[in-house]
A and B are shown apart, each in its own frame.
Chain A
């Protein structure tokens, strides 16, 4: 049982870690100083959440793992994050698009997890929900600014949404572990979130004068450990120190 909760925490913590990583790449490169600081704040929130999940997972692991063992010392196929969060920072529209599409899901997920039967998970969700409510507000505003700003920004934002939208299909997909956790009242009911998720996404896109992409095919695989080509490069940086200098304290 503890092993399954451990596994479940990876689904949540890997998403926050990899998205936090993508945002951390932007620190020092933002479109304005103020925006740079804002994005880094979101990155810091996500890494903080990641640490909470992995510290909890560490207490459940049989092999005496630390949060860093969990974060840095797995093989690529053992990471459970969705493909959406590993998508690169092609330009600011992709950054905001990815953030918004994830924030919307993240917000609904945490809304469920605050009622988790597992008091530790509920407590982390409670704290995280405040942060993510702000993230969602922030990214929604930017979707509108870019969508309804200039012709150029509208086009860029639309392109980004078109590119990223097919990656949202994986968010409400339920793996066997997630199903089991749901049935035990520990995890969230992902399929039940689906309608609400797309309603919320579409509402903001409409307000931003953006078209809702028409797609009948969604990408998936991240949750099963079948990642995009980007993931390997993320891990070469993320794991660099731990792999090059194994078994040391930093």
Chain B
């Protein structure tokens, strides 16, 4: 009897250890399923809420070229949200349920999207820093153990590659522009730098999910490792732009072979997580409104489809 309970669990872990994917119909521990629903849906919500701060500038983009690029980028985020919701749905939960969790304030999404986009340079900074940070996380997740999640991430990473370049190009154009534009770029970096570092989550010492996530290969690197990778990638990019990262403690550490950087304001981090960010309420209200305003549309399409298929049936009889 004991054997029959242990066997699937051991088999499951063996698959993960050997680098095989877990697929929707495979046996999996209930906790693995729940953890994935939570993580994948958080990720999906982040994509969808993440459309809003950038979407804020679509109608005001300064040129037609910038406008189509931004529009396509924000649309990609909708697509990525869709891929991720689909991956979560393979675990036996509906998109409606997941969206309801978001709207009820029961599900989290990346706190970065609770910061406001105040100038056009913020669109550059988000592409460069926020997408830059996201890509580091996402590349790791292409090798995550749950098959549908990993496949969604492969697709997402392929599509994301233009996002960061787009953002950096905006920053570069500003930094090579007039004094006013340079200031705009610096101001955006000042406001987005620290929140970008916070995107990797609490320090390893504080993080509650890391150990199990590692065992199940949901994550393959710790928050601090990923954060360090981001800082190391980004500092030289800021140098090329000729703008200054707002951290007086930032310096190259020859011995470690990494950049040292200053202490993150964790009080701010937890406050935004708890809902006290500048835009938390606004973002959720906007998502709720879109969903509620669309309810009659979704209903109409569902009824129309039923009527059409009934018609086909009665014509066949």
Contacts and interface: CB of A to CB of B under 8 A. Distances in A.
Given A36-B78, A245-B180, A153 B71 contact: no
Contacts of B58: 24-25, 27
A250 interface: yes
B14 interface: no
B300 A153 contact: yes
Interface string A127-155: 00000000000000000111011101100
A62 interface: no
A150 B71 contact: no
Contact of B304 (A31, A36, A145): A145
A149 B67 CA distance: 35
Interface in A11-40: 21, 24-25, 27-37, 40
Interface string A61-97: 0000001100110000000000000000001100000
A31 B290 contact: yes
Majority-rule SS of B interface residues: helix
Contacts of A167: none
B297 A153 contact: yes
B304 A241 contact: no
A242 B66 CA distance: 13
A44 interface: yes
A50 B81 CA distance: 29
A25 B60 CA distance: 10
Nearest to A96: B297
Interface string B279-293: 000000010011001
B258 interface: no
Given A28-B290, A30-B290, A40-B71, A21 B177 contact: no
Contact of A33 (B81, B180, B296, B299): B81
B92 interface: no
A22 B61 CA distance: 14
A28 B67 contact: no
A125 B303 CA distance: 37
B301 A149 contact: yes
A147 B85 CA distance: 30
Contacts of B79: 37
Interface string A199-226: 0000000000000000000000000000
Given A24-B71, A44-B75, A30 B294 contact: yes
A169 B304 CA distance: 31
Pick from B79, B82, B173, B290 the residue with the most CB of A within 10 Å: B290
Contacts of B290: 28-31
Given A29-B290, A241-B61, A150 B303 contact: yes
B61 A31 contact: no
Interface string B300-316: 11011001000000000
A37 B78 contact: yes
Interface residues of B, number: 47
Given A40-B78, A67-B64, A241-B62, A149 B294 contact: no
B67 A92 contact: no
A51 B64 contact: yes
B55 interface: yes
Contacts of A37: 75, 78-79, 82
B298 A32 contact: yes
Contact of A27 (B51, B301, B307): B51
Contacts of A250: 62-63, 66, 120, 170, 173-174, 177
Interface string B58-96: 111111111110011011001101100100000000000
A221 to B, nearest CB: 23
A153 B297 CA distance: 7
A114 B263 CA distance: 63
B181 interface: yes
Contact of A44 (B71, B174, B294, B301): B71
Contacts of B289: 29
14 contacts: A24-B67, A25-B59, A28-B55, A31-B290, A32-B298, A44-B75, A48-B68, A51-B65, A148-B304, A238-B60, A241-B60, A241-B62, A245-B180, A250-B174
| 8 nearest A-B pairs in the assembled complex, by CB-CB distance | A31-B294, A149-B300, A153-B300, A241-B62, A28-B51, A250-B62, A31-B297, A28-B55
Given A40-B74, A91-B293, 11 more contacts: A27-B75, A33-B78, A33-B82, A40-B75, A44-B75, A47-B68, A68-B62, A149-B301, A150-B299, A245-B178, A250-B66
